[in-house]
Chain A
Amino acid sequence: MKFLNSKIGRLTVMSAAIASLGIMATAAKADRLADVKKAGILHCGVVPGVPGYAYPNKAGKMVGFDVDLCRAVAAAVLGDADKIKTTKMKLPVAFNAMKAGTVDVVTHRFTWTFARDVGQGLDFTRVMVFDGQGFMVRKSLGVKSARELDGATFCQSAGATTQGNVSDYFRKHGMKFKQVTFGSMGEAQKAYDAKRCDVFCTDKYGLGARRLAMTNPDEHMILPETISNEPISPMVGHGDQVWKDIVVWTFNSLIAAEEFGITSKNVDEMRSSAKNPFVQRILGTTGKFGAKIGLGKDWAYNAIKAVGNYGEMWEKHLGKDSRLKMGRGKNILHTKGGLLISPPFR
């Protein structure tokens, strides 16, 4: 029944999105900050059920890396990380809901691409996960590299960048492949699990999470190749620069917090005693950064206190404290040779 509900839900949201996009003049209001404050709740679109990113815990509450991004924004804007409403959205629905302005932020695992960014009525905020597409196969297949996959069958989900990446990669290497494309990632994963396909493909950090959902995770392995560059970024509606600044700088503060050693545990102590002017500006002890983006002076303090810095979030949901145990790869600070960098708080 879950599938039925989600299908109907998807169609309903889709038509609601279209209707509000086309007919109702209320869509995509110019002042989202005021709207969110008035509503007292932040509405986020999240990926439906991917362990580590957004999935229900034992108590039925949505938790994960993507959910924490949403909580950080809620903490910065409303002062309370729990004032969020998450709606599970399949990829095309999330896309349309964002365009129609029915959600405030989409923290779905969306790859930032030209075609999605330009002329679509939405804006990408900043890259929160540097990912790349990989392949999962059964160990029993005896394949050690993606170059050995000539003639294999792929299971994947429709509408993702995955489809184009696979055809580009195989065309480049003069190899053939067959594919079965499902309406959603969930069905693609089930079909691969039922051995319909030789290969299951999506972004690598997604694959790590999906492997755990297989009947027998140990039967599967992820091939070494990364065939694409997938910068994953949350999205906001196009045209409301104030709101975009708030979301972008909230995310920046989480990365800056890691750089300056601010954690959810020591944030109070740092606020009262830190000498570093950057830390003082982030935490609102000096400067008026909060007021400049229409928030209170505790905006970043609240966000960091609620979800921790980037490193804490990663380890809790994706890294060593999670079931996924995924390494951070390129997602480490620029000071350590990674790609994560926050523009300076100056």
Chain B
Amino acid sequence: MENLLSFWRKGSVRSLTYQWGLVVAIICGMIWVYDTATTNMARLGLKTGFDFLTDEAGFPISPALIDYTPQSTYIEAMIVTLLNTIFLSLIAIILATILGFFIAMFKLSPNLLLRKFGNGYVEVFRNVPLLLQLFFWYFAALKMLPMKRSSISFFDVAFLNIEGFFIPLPILEGGAEFVAWAVLIATLISAIIWVWAKHRQKNTGQPFPSLILGAGLIILLPLLVAWALDFPVTWEVPKFGRFNFEGGTALEPEFTAMVFGLTLYNAAFVGEIIRAGIQSVDKGQKEAAGSIGFTNMQTYSQVIVPQAMRFIIPPITNQYLSLAKSTALAGAIGYADFFWAMDGAIAPQTGQVMELQAITLAGYLGISLFIAMLMAIYNHMTRIPER
């Protein structure tokens, strides 16, 4: 008995018991939920299973980034809308980060007007519910855009009206693959130059304009190749058909309103995160940089921002995750996102709610984990090296 008590008093034994006890309890709980769910569903006469995934979806999806018709299967509908969700998240994350950076700069600016503007922006956009903002941008856009008969023409190749922004679509011809190769090769060379320049700067302190050179290379080399091949691309210009412009491709108001709403809303949070990150860098760093002759630009890009990044990455990762998940509101204003397809279109048709919920959860979990993984890699790269 004495032995048993002293064994139990060992910290490691106790914590292991608690931990494994919890794991077992969670597993039992999950089994119980699964069991009651299946029993109840059987009692209600509900079919379960994933056979429906290969049935014909029957509804169109617009926009679709890959080939899709109403005759495609449910699983294809899911992939198309999942791509829409990822595409929307990606665009909104990039734009919100850029805008958020400017908002942070405004808030840190010595200029009173800019500072007040930054403050006002943050307070307005982060304190109004996102769904409300989305409705506002969507219906405001519909009110402001010109009607179809009075479309605004941009040099007779692009047109703007209430159904969207119609732009020419490039149709690739033979030889276009060489241009793609040129882009790839230029990117590779730029990467090599960048690594070499970094290495040289570390050893000798000599800077090298690798970014400008790289950008120039990536733009000019493919252009040169395209010129040599007599530009292997034709443009399909939108033409007014019976009801609207046909041909080309269109940026629809639903997508635009989503990008607008998500960007403006999230930029307010991103701005605050970046501002806090920059302010968390000790003032002495800036003064030290100034004292050895760094310009304001150099101080920020070489000293402040790299250090601020370590404070910015964890909260900004949260913000990106929150943005990606909030794309699920898109269905409300008619943009065909993943949640729209699962909850709005497929669930009422098939009634396979449990299965669809599971797939939806897995889909969003996948997106979130992917973003978190990318950010963790970046965080790892920018961390303070410890010896």
Contacts and interface: CB of A to CB of B under 8 A. Distances in A.
Interface of A: 1, 3-4, 7, 14, 18, 21-23, 25, 27-28, 91-92, 95-96, 99, 115-116, 119-121, 149-153, 155, 158-160, 163-164, 167-168, 171, 177-184, 187-188, 190-191, 194-196, 198, 237-239
Interface of A is mostly: mixed
Nearest to B242: A151
Contacts of A96: 347, 353
Contacts of A198: 243-244
25 contacts: A3-B132, A3-B135, A22-B37, A23-B33, A25-B36, A92-B348, A96-B353, A99-B353, A115-B349, A116-B351, A150-B242, A152-B243, A158-B345, A160-B348, A163-B345, A167-B59, A177-B60, A178-B60, A181-B336, A181-B340, A182-B333, A183-B344, A194-B162, A196-B162, A239-B43
A181 B59 contact: yes
B241 A239 contact: no
A181 B242 contact: no
B332 A182 contact: yes
Contacts of A159: 344-345, 347-349
Given A121-B44, A158-B345, A163 B244 contact: no
A79 to B, nearest CB: 30
Nearest to A160: B348
Interface stretch (B139-147, B221-229, B274-282, B377-385): B139-147
B347 A179 contact: no
B36 to A, nearest CB: 6
A101 to B, nearest CB: 8
Interface residues of B, number: 51
Nearest to B335: A180
B348 A95 contact: yes
Contacts of A164: 58-59, 70, 349
B246 interface: yes
B73 to A, nearest CB: 14
A119 B355 CA distance: 14
B45 interface: yes
Contacts of A181: 59, 334, 336, 340, 344-345
A25 B70 contact: no
Given A21-B354, A180-B62, A180-B254, A188 B344 contact: no
B332 A151 contact: no
Contacts of A1: 132
B202 interface: no
Given A22-B354, A95-B351, A178-B244, 17 more contacts: A3-B332, A7-B131, A28-B44, A92-B347, A119-B47, A153-B244, A158-B331, A163-B58, A171-B70, A180-B252, A181-B59, A183-B332, A183-B344, A187-B333, A195-B142, A237-B44, A239-B43
Contacts of B60: 163, 167, 177-179
Contact of A99 (B44, B131, B340, B345): B44
Given A7-B131, A25-B40, A167-B60, A99 B243 contact: no
